[in-house]
Structure 1
């Protein structure tokens, strides 16, 4: 028996809208003992996916390539040796680079993680990239206590919104910085509703004395913008604090004066979720983290990002992005 598959593929590196194509093929439903057949329900598009397609990401896949690292899928068949999953289970990837922009696929069962059937589709499809990024940055660099402060730019990004929600859950102050825009008051209200203590535009933050006895200087700052935005964040990091860079959406380098290291003893480091996942593949903490995140979704402590579900046939729209929303490919 065979299964028809619709999938996105690129045979060369380049601009995603130019090199990615929609294709069809058939795959056998006859499974090896360790394999599972999955019906992909929804696949998210992340910036790293698009950078990978251009060939500029640190990891280059072999071509031709089905992109995608994140999705939610239903198990439709299992090999004779699969004991941890059953037909009907919902699963998400437990490893990067599986190629998730497809309607169906045959995969190794060990590369997938079972989740409760009650999880919202958007939350499930976006579970394994942005929430772990936010979670690990808040857990791994500084021992934060209730009442401490975290500072971040791009507070309206998917990671930024999760950071605010986790800080609210854990009793941590979270100050966010965003670019100015026509609907800035609405955006500020939205982000405060998610858990941000204060939200400033880049211009407001640069000229405001934000921190005081009632709002302590941040022990941890999270930067995914770079350039002048990052340099402004550094100004307010507490003595002995930590400055973590996990992206550079401005594409501008960050200039850090020697005084930051010598006189203020600030530690500057980076975080790359892909590398953390690879180094911690068998670490029980990874399973604990995913279960903790899922529990927070179920309890209402985390909210799935605002998303637009886009049929795979409209993949050009999905690759182009929708302002202010996470693009998620669907297959029905």
Structure 2
């Protein structure tokens, strides 16, 4: 509810004015909590379009010593977030029983707050915290922190400061897809300028970052995508990002394709393959790899198993790896995490890594919990069906 005090308002008598204020206060009391927080929560795993709901909760108290309060600015909705809510993802969030004294979010009915990635702004700093101050931008380093919220209290070791010279979309999306792409390109094989990389799912969020980081390093890429009605515009888009060649899975199945690849590479071995699809397309892609190559799998969008000929291991000495960015974070020190983020920030500042194609889903403070719940469920249902080509970033306003 918006209240505008005009010259007519000021001309009211004192009793009239107080009656008007009491009426406004009563209206607030019946519809929402004044200037409160809100989170997207669930009490059990299942279909996100069914189990998710918005929950309004009280403003945060001042932070206890050695903690900080943050306000989330943007929080991406990633495919892995949907899998976590469904209960089919290895990483599990901790239940939250501190949002309310009774009902949902209390000790009697704890909830899970959705969201793993997000950009937040420090609003209040507890005693003992010296390296952070209000208005600093931070990102989450603790997995499944519950970022689909307006605010929370966090420990300093669970966040990492990022420069405000980035735009909010760049900062909000820096902890999942860019690190995954960067680490897969650097951790398994030493690649030099002019070397080749082949990947499937190249139009995905990680695939697009792979293209850009590879181009920045002088690497050449063969990028496999599913055929579609807008194939020409998508091919142009990926080429503008830096893709050397963009190819459909239909072309990959053609027996003459192997010869085309040899002509492109000049017979040079392709030493790294990146897989997020599995199934037959990955089997065909892996056959194009050269001697002593590495295949890195970070997904299985086809929901089919990874099946590879034994001959590739015997005669080509193929090495296969699985990659999970969450495991990387768990195994690395805070200094190593900071160094990675600094590298990615440098690529963004240099214009070599663009923000993802996106749209922002705003949950307005004036919207009730039920209306907010419906908007979120609809967005999740659309993403789950693969009917949305852009990354959705959630912007949740404090309720009023």
Aligning the two structures, in what range does the TM-score lie when normalised by the shorter sequence? Answer: over 0.9
Residue 10 of structure 1: aligned partner: 42
Q: 1:49 aligns with which of 81, 86, 99?
A: 81
Q: 1:294 aligns with which of 335, 340, 345?
A: 345
Provide the aligned length of Structure 1 versus Structure 2.
Answer: 330
How far apart are the structure 2 equivalents of 1:272 and 1:140?
Answer: 12
Normalized per residue, the structure richer in strand is 1
Of 317-326 and 3-12, more deviation after overlay is shown by 317-326
How far apart are the structure 2 equivalents of 1:213 and 1:202?
Answer: 19
Query: In the alignment, is the contact (CA less than 8 A) between 2:36 and 2:58 conserved in 1?
Result: yes
Query: In the alignment, is the contact (CA less than 8 A) between 1:129 and 1:273 conserved in 2?
Result: yes
Q: Note the 1:1-332 alignment, pairs <5 A.
A: 4-63=36-95, 64-207=111-254, 208-209=257-258, 210-212=260-262, 215=265, 216-280=268-332, 282-312=333-363, 313=372, 314-320=375-381, 321=383, 323-332=388-397
Task: State the SS of the aligned residue for 1:211.
Answer: helix
Task: State the SS of the aligned residue for 1:212.
Answer: helix
TM-score, structure 1 length as denominator? 0.96
Q: Which runs of 4+ in 1 moved over 4 A?
A: none
TM-score, structure 2 length as denominator? 0.80
How far apart are the structure 1 equivalents of 2:264 and 2:230?
Answer: 29
How far apart are the structure 2 equivalents of 1:162 and 1:171?
Answer: 14
Query: In the alignment, is the contact (CA less than 8 A) between 1:246 and 1:271 conserved in 2?
Result: yes
Gaps of 5+ in 1: none
Query: In the alignment, is the contact (CA less than 8 A) between 1:318 and 1:329 conserved in 2?
Result: no
Gaps of 5+ in 2: 1-33, 96-110, 364-371
How far apart are the structure 1 equivalents of 2:114 and 2:249?
Answer: 34
Query: In the alignment, is the contact (CA less than 8 A) between 2:358 and 2:393 conserved in 1?
Result: yes
How far apart are the structure 1 equivalents of 2:348 and 2:115?
Answer: 23
How far apart are the structure 2 equivalents of 1:164 and 1:157?
Answer: 11
How far apart are the structure 2 equivalents of 1:86 and 1:231?
Answer: 51
Q: 1:188 to 1:265 in 2, by over 3 A?
A: same
Which of these two proteins has the greater Rg computed from alpha carbons? 2
Q: 1:214 to 1:230 in 2, by over 3 A?
A: closer
* Higher RCO (C-alpha 8 Å, min separation 6): 2
Query: In the alignment, is the contact (CA less than 8 A) between 2:92 and 2:144 conserved in 1?
Result: no
Query: In the alignment, is the contact (CA less than 8 A) between 2:50 and 2:377 conserved in 1?
Result: no
Return the offset for 1:3. 6.6
Q: How large is the Cα RMSD of the aligned pairs? A: 1.4
How far apart are the structure 2 equivalents of 1:11 and 1:3?
Answer: 25
